[in-house]
Structure 1
Amino acid sequence: MQKRTFLVALSALTLLGGCGSKSAPADGSTLTVAATAVPHAEILEHVKPVLAKQGVTLDIRTFNDYVQPNVQVAEGRIAVNYFQTKPYLDTFNQARGTRLVTLAGIHVEPLGAYSRRWKTLATVPNGATVAIPNEGSNSGRALILLAKAGLIRLKNPADPLATPKDIIANPRRLQFKELEAATLPRVLDQVDLALINTNYALDAKLEPTRDALAIEDKDSPYVNYLVGLESARSDPKVAKLISALRSDDVKAFIAQHYKGAVIPAF
Protein backbone atom coordinates (compact mmCIF):
# COMPACT_ATOMS: atom_id res chain seq x y z
CA MET A 1 0.00 0.00 0.00
CA GLN A 2 1.26 3.45 -0.75
CA LYS A 3 2.41 5.51 2.20
CA ARG A 4 -0.19 8.21 1.50
CA THR A 5 -3.06 5.72 1.70
CA PHE A 6 -1.57 4.16 4.82
CA LEU A 7 -1.32 7.56 6.54
CA VAL A 8 -4.92 8.38 5.66
CA ALA A 9 -5.98 5.05 7.11
CA LEU A 10 -3.97 5.69 10.26
CA SER A 11 -5.51 9.14 10.72
CA ALA A 12 -9.01 7.75 10.38
CA LEU A 13 -8.46 4.76 12.61
CA THR A 14 -6.76 6.76 15.34
CA LEU A 15 -10.22 8.08 16.16
CA LEU A 16 -11.31 4.55 17.07
CA GLY A 17 -11.02 3.47 20.66
CA GLY A 18 -10.61 0.06 22.18
CA CYS A 19 -13.65 -2.04 22.80
CA GLY A 20 -12.18 -4.00 25.69
CA SER A 21 -13.34 -4.12 29.24
CA LYS A 22 -12.51 -1.39 31.72
CA SER A 23 -10.18 -2.65 34.38
CA ALA A 24 -8.72 -1.60 37.67
CA PRO A 25 -5.59 0.59 37.62
CA ALA A 26 -2.45 -1.41 37.04
CA ASP A 27 -0.27 -2.27 40.01
CA GLY A 28 3.11 -3.94 40.21
CA SER A 29 1.67 -7.36 39.45
CA THR A 30 -0.49 -6.28 36.49
CA LEU A 31 0.55 -6.59 32.86
CA THR A 32 -1.68 -4.84 30.33
CA VAL A 33 -1.87 -6.34 26.84
CA ALA A 34 -3.72 -4.94 23.83
CA ALA A 35 -5.11 -7.51 21.40
CA THR A 36 -7.69 -8.07 18.70
CA ALA A 37 -10.48 -10.40 19.74
CA VAL A 38 -9.87 -13.58 17.73
CA PRO A 39 -7.61 -15.43 18.20
CA HIS A 40 -5.27 -13.16 20.15
CA ALA A 41 -7.48 -12.27 23.12
CA GLU A 42 -8.71 -15.87 23.28
CA ILE A 43 -5.16 -17.19 23.50
CA LEU A 44 -4.34 -14.60 26.15
CA GLU A 45 -7.42 -15.65 28.15
CA HIS A 46 -6.15 -19.22 27.98
CA VAL A 47 -2.81 -18.31 29.60
CA LYS A 48 -4.31 -15.90 32.12
CA PRO A 49 -4.71 -18.54 34.90
CA VAL A 50 -1.17 -19.79 34.30
CA LEU A 51 0.22 -16.29 34.78
CA ALA A 52 -1.97 -15.71 37.84
CA LYS A 53 -0.24 -18.67 39.52
CA GLN A 54 3.07 -16.93 38.78
CA GLY A 55 1.92 -13.69 40.39
CA VAL A 56 1.06 -11.84 37.16
CA THR A 57 -2.40 -10.35 36.66
CA LEU A 58 -3.06 -10.18 32.93
CA ASP A 59 -5.22 -7.20 31.93
CA ILE A 60 -6.41 -7.93 28.37
CA ARG A 61 -7.72 -4.93 26.44
CA THR A 62 -9.49 -5.86 23.24
CA PHE A 63 -9.45 -3.57 20.20
CA ASN A 64 -11.25 -3.71 16.87
CA ASP A 65 -8.58 -1.96 14.81
CA TYR A 66 -4.87 -2.27 14.04
CA VAL A 67 -3.81 1.27 14.98
CA GLN A 68 -4.76 2.05 18.57
CA PRO A 69 -2.99 -1.03 20.01
CA ASN A 70 0.29 0.32 18.63
CA VAL A 71 -0.43 3.95 19.52
CA GLN A 72 -1.18 3.11 23.14
CA VAL A 73 1.91 0.92 23.55
CA ALA A 74 4.10 3.57 21.94
CA GLU A 75 2.68 6.15 24.35
CA GLY A 76 3.25 3.90 27.36
CA ARG A 77 -0.43 3.52 28.25
CA ILE A 78 -0.36 -0.24 27.57
CA ALA A 79 2.68 -2.46 28.14
CA VAL A 80 2.61 -4.72 25.06
CA ASN A 81 0.31 -5.80 22.26
CA TYR A 82 -0.41 -9.00 20.39
CA PHE A 83 -2.07 -8.79 16.98
CA GLN A 84 0.37 -7.98 14.16
CA THR A 85 2.99 -9.22 11.72
CA LYS A 86 6.46 -7.73 11.35
CA PRO A 87 5.80 -6.26 7.86
CA TYR A 88 2.81 -4.40 9.30
CA LEU A 89 4.83 -3.22 12.31
CA ASP A 90 7.67 -2.02 10.07
CA THR A 91 5.23 -0.01 7.96
CA PHE A 92 3.59 1.45 11.08
CA ASN A 93 6.92 2.46 12.63
CA GLN A 94 8.01 4.14 9.40
CA ALA A 95 4.75 6.05 9.01
CA ARG A 96 4.43 7.05 12.66
CA GLY A 97 8.04 7.45 13.73
CA THR A 98 7.47 4.96 16.55
CA ARG A 99 10.09 2.52 17.85
CA LEU A 100 8.09 -0.58 18.62
CA VAL A 101 9.93 -3.90 18.44
CA THR A 102 8.98 -7.55 18.10
CA LEU A 103 9.42 -9.48 21.34
CA ALA A 104 8.36 -13.02 20.40
CA GLY A 105 6.70 -14.77 17.47
CA ILE A 106 3.62 -16.71 18.55
CA HIS A 107 1.51 -17.91 15.62
CA VAL A 108 0.60 -17.60 11.94
CA GLU A 109 -2.91 -16.79 10.73
CA PRO A 110 -3.05 -17.83 7.08
CA LEU A 111 -4.80 -15.14 5.03
CA GLY A 112 -7.53 -16.50 2.76
CA ALA A 113 -9.68 -15.63 -0.24
CA TYR A 114 -13.43 -15.97 0.43
CA SER A 115 -16.59 -15.74 -1.67
CA ARG A 116 -20.31 -16.18 -1.13
CA ARG A 117 -20.97 -16.11 -4.89
CA TRP A 118 -18.43 -18.56 -6.25
CA LYS A 119 -17.28 -21.99 -5.11
CA THR A 120 -13.81 -21.96 -6.69
CA LEU A 121 -11.33 -19.38 -7.95
CA ALA A 122 -11.74 -20.88 -11.42
CA THR A 123 -15.37 -19.74 -11.50
CA VAL A 124 -14.65 -16.13 -10.47
CA PRO A 125 -15.72 -14.23 -13.62
CA ASN A 126 -14.06 -11.55 -15.71
CA GLY A 127 -14.55 -8.10 -14.20
CA ALA A 128 -15.17 -9.50 -10.71
CA THR A 129 -14.90 -7.15 -7.74
CA VAL A 130 -12.17 -8.15 -5.28
CA ALA A 131 -11.87 -6.54 -1.84
CA ILE A 132 -8.45 -6.50 -0.22
CA PRO A 133 -7.10 -4.94 3.01
CA ASN A 134 -5.86 -1.36 2.65
CA GLU A 135 -3.01 -1.69 5.20
CA GLY A 136 0.42 -1.83 3.59
CA SER A 137 1.60 -5.33 4.44
CA ASN A 138 -1.85 -6.90 4.28
CA SER A 139 -2.53 -5.38 0.87
CA GLY A 140 0.68 -6.86 -0.49
CA ARG A 141 0.00 -10.15 1.24
CA ALA A 142 -3.42 -10.42 -0.42
CA LEU A 143 -2.01 -9.65 -3.86
CA ILE A 144 0.79 -12.19 -3.42
CA LEU A 145 -1.81 -14.87 -2.61
CA LEU A 146 -3.81 -13.97 -5.74
CA ALA A 147 -0.64 -14.05 -7.81
CA LYS A 148 0.27 -17.49 -6.47
CA ALA A 149 -3.24 -18.63 -7.39
CA GLY A 150 -2.66 -17.43 -10.97
CA LEU A 151 -5.28 -14.66 -11.05
CA ILE A 152 -2.78 -11.80 -11.49
CA ARG A 153 0.93 -11.18 -12.02
CA LEU A 154 2.94 -8.72 -9.95
CA LYS A 155 5.97 -6.65 -10.86
CA ASN A 156 7.73 -8.17 -7.85
CA PRO A 157 5.98 -11.37 -6.74
CA ALA A 158 7.63 -11.21 -3.31
CA ASP A 159 6.98 -7.53 -2.50
CA PRO A 160 5.18 -7.45 0.88
CA LEU A 161 4.05 -3.87 0.23
CA ALA A 162 2.67 -4.43 -3.28
CA THR A 163 -0.43 -2.45 -4.27
CA PRO A 164 -2.83 -2.86 -7.20
CA LYS A 165 -0.56 -0.45 -9.12
CA ASP A 166 2.10 -3.18 -9.07
CA ILE A 167 -0.09 -5.58 -11.04
CA ILE A 168 1.42 -6.13 -14.50
CA ALA A 169 -1.06 -8.73 -15.74
CA ASN A 170 -4.75 -8.97 -14.88
CA PRO A 171 -6.28 -11.27 -17.50
CA ARG A 172 -9.70 -11.39 -15.81
CA ARG A 173 -9.80 -7.59 -15.44
CA LEU A 174 -10.44 -7.90 -11.72
CA GLN A 175 -11.63 -4.70 -10.05
CA PHE A 176 -9.93 -4.07 -6.70
CA LYS A 177 -11.41 -2.32 -3.68
CA GLU A 178 -9.02 -1.48 -0.84
CA LEU A 179 -10.90 -1.46 2.46
CA GLU A 180 -10.12 -1.50 6.17
CA ALA A 181 -9.31 -5.10 7.10
CA ALA A 182 -11.96 -5.27 9.84
CA THR A 183 -14.75 -4.42 7.38
CA LEU A 184 -13.98 -7.16 4.84
CA PRO A 185 -16.21 -9.89 6.32
CA ARG A 186 -19.10 -7.40 6.32
CA VAL A 187 -18.78 -6.71 2.58
CA LEU A 188 -18.49 -10.36 1.58
CA ASP A 189 -22.07 -10.36 0.24
CA GLN A 190 -21.34 -7.27 -1.86
CA VAL A 191 -18.21 -8.42 -3.71
CA ASP A 192 -17.15 -11.45 -5.70
CA LEU A 193 -14.06 -12.16 -3.62
CA ALA A 194 -12.59 -10.82 -0.38
CA LEU A 195 -9.10 -11.40 1.03
CA ILE A 196 -9.62 -11.66 4.79
CA ASN A 197 -7.21 -11.96 7.69
CA THR A 198 -7.92 -15.08 9.72
CA ASN A 199 -8.64 -13.19 12.95
CA TYR A 200 -11.48 -11.33 11.25
CA ALA A 201 -12.61 -14.44 9.37
CA LEU A 202 -12.91 -16.40 12.62
CA ASP A 203 -14.70 -13.49 14.28
CA ALA A 204 -17.24 -13.61 11.41
CA LYS A 205 -17.77 -17.36 11.98
CA LEU A 206 -15.97 -18.34 8.79
CA GLU A 207 -13.86 -21.50 8.93
CA PRO A 208 -10.68 -20.77 6.94
CA THR A 209 -9.73 -24.38 6.28
CA ARG A 210 -13.25 -25.08 4.98
CA ASP A 211 -14.46 -21.79 3.50
CA ALA A 212 -11.38 -20.21 1.90
CA LEU A 213 -11.03 -20.70 -1.87
CA ALA A 214 -7.28 -20.09 -1.47
CA ILE A 215 -5.25 -19.80 1.70
CA GLU A 216 -1.63 -19.29 2.70
CA ASP A 217 0.20 -22.43 3.68
CA LYS A 218 2.08 -23.25 6.86
CA ASP A 219 5.24 -21.65 5.45
CA SER A 220 3.72 -18.17 5.50
CA PRO A 221 6.27 -15.60 6.75
CA TYR A 222 3.53 -13.53 8.38
CA VAL A 223 4.06 -14.49 12.00
CA ASN A 224 1.98 -12.69 14.64
CA TYR A 225 4.21 -11.18 17.32
CA LEU A 226 4.04 -9.91 20.85
CA VAL A 227 5.19 -6.29 20.43
CA GLY A 228 6.34 -3.55 22.77
CA LEU A 229 8.94 -0.89 23.42
CA GLU A 230 12.56 -1.97 23.81
CA SER A 231 12.22 -1.58 27.60
CA ALA A 232 9.66 -4.41 27.65
CA ARG A 233 12.47 -6.91 27.04
CA SER A 234 13.68 -6.47 30.60
CA ASP A 235 10.22 -6.68 32.22
CA PRO A 236 9.96 -10.02 34.09
CA LYS A 237 6.17 -10.00 33.64
CA VAL A 238 6.63 -9.84 29.87
CA ALA A 239 9.15 -12.69 30.06
CA LYS A 240 6.58 -14.81 31.91
CA LEU A 241 3.93 -13.97 29.30
CA ILE A 242 6.26 -14.98 26.46
CA SER A 243 7.06 -18.26 28.19
CA ALA A 244 3.36 -18.99 28.64
CA LEU A 245 2.46 -18.09 25.05
CA ARG A 246 5.24 -20.27 23.63
CA SER A 247 4.44 -23.31 25.77
CA ASP A 248 3.38 -26.78 24.69
CA ASP A 249 0.06 -26.10 26.40
CA VAL A 250 -0.66 -23.16 24.09
CA LYS A 251 0.48 -25.16 21.07
CA ALA A 252 -2.06 -27.85 21.99
CA PHE A 253 -4.78 -25.24 22.64
CA ILE A 254 -4.23 -23.63 19.23
CA ALA A 255 -4.30 -27.00 17.45
CA GLN A 256 -7.47 -28.14 19.20
CA HIS A 257 -9.36 -24.84 19.18
CA TYR A 258 -8.58 -23.49 15.68
CA LYS A 259 -8.08 -26.74 13.74
CA GLY A 260 -5.48 -25.39 11.31
CA ALA A 261 -6.88 -21.87 10.95
CA VAL A 262 -4.16 -20.70 13.35
CA ILE A 263 -0.71 -22.32 13.32
CA PRO A 264 1.89 -22.10 16.13
CA ALA A 265 5.10 -20.38 15.04
CA PHE A 266 7.35 -22.05 17.63
Structure 2
Amino acid sequence: MRMGTGVSAMEETGAAIVLSGVSLTRGGRPVLQDIDLSTDARRIGIVGRNGSGKTTLARLICGLIAPDTGTVRIGGVDVARDRRAALRTVGILFQNPDHQIIFPTVEEELAFGLTQMGRTKEQAQAAVTAILARFGRAHWHDAAIHTLSHGQKQLVCLMAVLAMEPRVVVLDEPFSGLDLPTRMQLTAAFARIDAGIVHITHDPDVVRDYDHVIWMDGGRVAMQGDAAPVLDAYVARMTALGAGDDLSHLAG
Protein backbone atom coordinates (compact mmCIF):
# COMPACT_ATOMS: atom_id res chain seq x y z
CA MET A 1 0.00 0.00 0.00
CA ARG A 2 1.16 3.52 -0.70
CA MET A 3 0.37 6.88 0.72
CA GLY A 4 1.35 10.07 -0.99
CA THR A 5 2.79 10.61 -4.43
CA GLY A 6 6.19 9.00 -4.13
CA VAL A 7 9.34 11.11 -4.09
CA SER A 8 8.24 14.59 -3.08
CA ALA A 9 9.78 17.96 -2.40
CA MET A 10 9.92 16.92 1.23
CA GLU A 11 12.11 13.94 0.37
CA GLU A 12 14.54 16.30 -1.34
CA THR A 13 14.89 18.18 1.95
CA GLY A 14 15.37 14.94 3.84
CA ALA A 15 12.17 13.77 5.51
CA ALA A 16 10.28 11.45 3.16
CA ILE A 17 10.32 7.70 3.76
CA VAL A 18 10.12 5.43 0.73
CA LEU A 19 10.20 1.62 0.95
CA SER A 20 9.97 -0.29 -2.32
CA GLY A 21 9.43 -4.06 -2.52
CA VAL A 22 11.01 -4.68 0.89
CA SER A 23 11.14 -8.27 2.15
CA LEU A 24 13.28 -9.92 4.82
CA THR A 25 13.66 -13.54 5.91
CA ARG A 26 15.34 -14.74 9.09
CA GLY A 27 15.99 -18.41 9.88
CA GLY A 28 13.91 -19.45 6.91
CA ARG A 29 10.91 -17.50 8.19
CA PRO A 30 9.57 -14.41 6.40
CA VAL A 31 9.71 -11.45 8.79
CA LEU A 32 8.68 -8.70 6.37
CA GLN A 33 6.89 -9.34 3.10
CA ASP A 34 6.46 -7.04 0.11
CA ILE A 35 6.45 -3.73 2.00
CA ASP A 36 5.70 -0.78 -0.26
CA LEU A 37 5.04 2.60 1.27
CA SER A 38 5.81 6.22 0.62
CA THR A 39 4.98 9.03 2.98
CA ASP A 40 6.18 12.53 3.70
CA ALA A 41 4.20 12.76 6.94
CA ARG A 42 6.17 14.40 9.74
CA ARG A 43 4.94 12.15 12.55
CA ILE A 44 4.38 8.50 11.73
CA GLY A 45 3.11 5.82 14.08
CA ILE A 46 3.64 2.10 13.51
CA VAL A 47 1.37 -0.21 15.50
CA GLY A 48 0.99 -3.96 15.69
CA ARG A 49 1.18 -6.95 17.98
CA ASN A 50 4.39 -8.53 19.21
CA GLY A 51 6.03 -10.31 16.30
CA SER A 52 4.21 -8.27 13.66
CA GLY A 53 7.46 -6.86 12.23
CA LYS A 54 7.40 -3.41 13.84
CA THR A 55 10.88 -3.47 15.35
CA THR A 56 12.40 -5.12 12.28
CA LEU A 57 10.88 -2.37 10.16
CA ALA A 58 12.39 0.23 12.51
CA ARG A 59 15.85 -1.29 12.09
CA LEU A 60 15.47 -1.33 8.32
CA ILE A 61 14.48 2.34 8.32
CA CYS A 62 17.64 3.12 10.30
CA GLY A 63 19.85 1.03 8.05
CA LEU A 64 20.88 -1.24 10.94
CA ILE A 65 19.89 -4.23 8.82
CA ALA A 66 19.45 -4.56 5.08
CA PRO A 67 16.44 -6.08 3.30
CA ASP A 68 16.83 -9.24 1.27
CA THR A 69 14.98 -7.53 -1.55
CA GLY A 70 13.88 -3.97 -2.17
CA THR A 71 15.21 -0.60 -1.04
CA VAL A 72 14.75 1.72 1.92
CA ARG A 73 15.31 5.40 1.24
CA ILE A 74 15.09 8.21 3.77
CA GLY A 75 15.40 11.66 2.27
CA GLY A 76 16.80 10.07 -0.86
CA VAL A 77 19.49 8.15 1.07
CA ASP A 78 19.68 4.37 0.64
CA VAL A 79 20.30 3.73 4.34
CA ALA A 80 21.44 0.12 3.85
CA ARG A 81 24.09 0.99 1.28
CA ASP A 82 25.39 4.32 2.56
CA ARG A 83 26.03 3.92 6.29
CA ARG A 84 27.82 7.24 6.75
CA ALA A 85 24.94 9.12 5.16
CA ALA A 86 22.50 7.02 7.19
CA LEU A 87 24.13 8.18 10.44
CA ARG A 88 23.46 11.78 9.41
CA THR A 89 19.94 11.02 8.26
CA VAL A 90 18.29 8.66 10.77
CA GLY A 91 18.67 8.11 14.50
CA ILE A 92 17.01 5.48 16.68
CA LEU A 93 15.97 5.41 20.32
CA PHE A 94 15.83 1.79 21.46
CA GLN A 95 13.33 0.31 23.89
CA ASN A 96 16.00 -0.39 26.51
CA PRO A 97 18.60 2.37 27.00
CA ASP A 98 21.04 -0.16 28.47
CA HIS A 99 21.19 -1.74 25.02
CA GLN A 100 22.16 1.61 23.52
CA ILE A 101 24.51 3.23 26.02
CA ILE A 102 28.14 2.12 25.78
CA PHE A 103 30.10 4.73 27.76
CA PRO A 104 30.34 5.34 31.52
CA THR A 105 29.62 9.09 31.54
CA VAL A 106 26.99 11.28 29.93
CA GLU A 107 29.55 13.45 28.17
CA GLU A 108 31.30 10.47 26.58
CA GLU A 109 28.01 8.97 25.45
CA LEU A 110 26.83 12.20 23.85
CA ALA A 111 30.16 12.86 22.13
CA PHE A 112 30.65 9.41 20.61
CA GLY A 113 28.21 9.66 17.71
CA LEU A 114 29.45 13.13 16.85
CA THR A 115 33.05 11.98 16.55
CA GLN A 116 31.89 9.02 14.46
CA MET A 117 30.41 11.55 12.07
CA GLY A 118 33.79 13.24 11.71
CA ARG A 119 33.40 16.12 14.17
CA THR A 120 36.57 17.29 15.86
CA LYS A 121 36.86 16.89 19.62
CA GLU A 122 36.23 20.61 20.06
CA GLN A 123 33.17 20.53 17.79
CA ALA A 124 31.80 17.49 19.61
CA GLN A 125 32.28 19.14 23.00
CA ALA A 126 30.45 22.26 21.82
CA ALA A 127 27.55 20.15 20.56
CA VAL A 128 27.41 18.22 23.84
CA THR A 129 27.25 21.45 25.82
CA ALA A 130 24.52 22.77 23.54
CA ILE A 131 22.27 19.69 23.73
CA LEU A 132 22.60 19.48 27.52
CA ALA A 133 21.65 23.15 27.82
CA ARG A 134 18.73 22.68 25.44
CA PHE A 135 17.25 20.05 27.76
CA GLY A 136 18.18 21.85 30.98
CA ARG A 137 20.66 19.14 31.96
CA ALA A 138 24.00 20.97 31.96
CA HIS A 139 24.67 19.48 35.39
CA TRP A 140 24.69 15.99 33.84
CA HIS A 141 27.87 16.66 31.83
CA ASP A 142 30.17 14.55 34.01
CA ALA A 143 27.48 12.33 35.54
CA ALA A 144 28.07 8.60 35.71
CA ILE A 145 25.48 6.72 33.68
CA HIS A 146 24.98 4.09 36.38
CA THR A 147 23.66 6.75 38.77
CA LEU A 148 20.77 7.66 36.46
CA SER A 149 17.28 6.19 36.49
CA HIS A 150 15.84 4.25 33.56
CA GLY A 151 13.98 7.32 32.35
CA GLN A 152 17.03 9.55 32.71
CA LYS A 153 19.08 7.07 30.69
CA GLN A 154 16.41 7.17 28.00
CA LEU A 155 16.72 10.97 27.93
CA VAL A 156 20.50 10.66 27.56
CA CYS A 157 19.94 8.38 24.56
CA LEU A 158 17.49 10.86 23.06
CA MET A 159 19.96 13.71 23.50
CA ALA A 160 22.72 11.61 21.92
CA VAL A 161 20.52 11.01 18.89
CA LEU A 162 19.38 14.63 18.57
CA ALA A 163 22.92 15.99 18.95
CA MET A 164 23.67 14.34 15.60
CA GLU A 165 20.86 16.37 14.01
CA PRO A 166 19.18 13.54 12.08
CA ARG A 167 16.33 14.25 9.69
CA VAL A 168 14.27 11.37 11.08
CA VAL A 169 14.19 9.90 14.60
CA VAL A 170 12.86 6.37 15.14
CA LEU A 171 11.37 5.66 18.58
CA ASP A 172 11.16 1.92 19.27
CA GLU A 173 8.72 1.41 22.17
CA PRO A 174 10.47 4.19 24.16
CA PHE A 175 8.01 4.10 27.08
CA SER A 176 8.61 0.48 28.06
CA GLY A 177 9.18 0.19 31.81
CA LEU A 178 8.62 3.88 32.52
CA ASP A 179 6.22 5.30 35.10
CA LEU A 180 3.55 7.83 34.13
CA PRO A 181 5.41 11.04 35.13
CA THR A 182 8.50 9.96 33.18
CA ARG A 183 6.37 9.03 30.18
CA MET A 184 4.78 12.47 30.28
CA GLN A 185 8.18 14.18 30.46
CA LEU A 186 9.53 12.17 27.53
CA THR A 187 6.35 12.83 25.54
CA ALA A 188 6.93 16.55 26.02
CA ALA A 189 10.54 16.10 24.87
CA PHE A 190 9.40 14.21 21.76
CA ALA A 191 6.95 17.01 20.94
CA ARG A 192 9.85 19.47 20.75
CA ILE A 193 11.81 17.40 18.23
CA ASP A 194 12.24 19.26 14.95
CA ALA A 195 13.02 16.13 12.94
CA GLY A 196 10.48 13.72 11.51
CA ILE A 197 9.42 10.96 13.91
CA VAL A 198 8.66 7.27 13.33
CA HIS A 199 7.16 5.92 16.56
CA ILE A 200 6.90 2.15 17.03
CA THR A 201 4.29 1.15 19.63
CA HIS A 202 1.66 -1.41 20.59
CA ASP A 203 -0.38 1.34 22.32
CA PRO A 204 -2.70 3.13 19.87
CA ASP A 205 -3.31 6.07 22.20
CA VAL A 206 0.36 7.08 22.00
CA VAL A 207 0.12 7.90 18.27
CA ARG A 208 -3.52 8.93 17.94
CA ASP A 209 -2.61 12.53 17.14
CA TYR A 210 0.08 11.58 14.59
CA ASP A 211 -0.13 12.46 10.90
CA HIS A 212 0.09 8.94 9.50
CA VAL A 213 -0.22 5.46 11.02
CA ILE A 214 0.90 2.10 9.65
CA TRP A 215 -0.62 -1.11 11.03
CA MET A 216 1.73 -4.07 10.73
CA ASP A 217 0.37 -7.61 10.89
CA GLY A 218 2.27 -10.79 10.11
CA GLY A 219 5.12 -8.91 8.46
CA ARG A 220 2.83 -7.04 6.09
CA VAL A 221 1.17 -3.65 6.03
CA ALA A 222 -2.41 -4.42 7.02
CA MET A 223 -3.56 -0.81 6.69
CA GLN A 224 -2.12 2.70 6.62
CA GLY A 225 -3.30 6.26 6.32
CA ASP A 226 -4.76 8.92 8.60
CA ALA A 227 -4.44 7.97 12.25
CA ALA A 228 -8.11 7.75 13.26
CA PRO A 229 -9.42 5.15 10.77
CA VAL A 230 -6.29 2.99 10.98
CA LEU A 231 -6.25 2.97 14.77
CA ASP A 232 -9.98 2.37 15.00
CA ALA A 233 -9.62 -0.68 12.75
CA TYR A 234 -6.59 -1.88 14.71
CA VAL A 235 -8.34 -1.52 18.07
CA ALA A 236 -11.43 -3.28 16.76
CA ARG A 237 -9.34 -6.21 15.58
CA MET A 238 -7.37 -6.43 18.83
CA THR A 239 -10.61 -6.23 20.84
CA ALA A 240 -12.11 -9.05 18.79
CA LEU A 241 -9.03 -11.19 19.39
CA GLY A 242 -9.11 -10.46 23.09
CA ALA A 243 -12.80 -11.37 23.34
CA GLY A 244 -12.28 -14.76 21.70
CA ASP A 245 -11.87 -18.00 23.62
CA ASP A 246 -9.14 -19.54 21.46
CA LEU A 247 -5.83 -18.76 23.17
CA SER A 248 -3.87 -19.83 20.09
CA HIS A 249 -4.83 -16.49 18.52
CA LEU A 250 -3.09 -14.67 21.38
CA ALA A 251 0.29 -16.26 20.85
CA GLY A 252 1.61 -13.39 18.74
Specify the TM-score bucket, using the shorter chain as the normaliser: 0.3 to 0.5
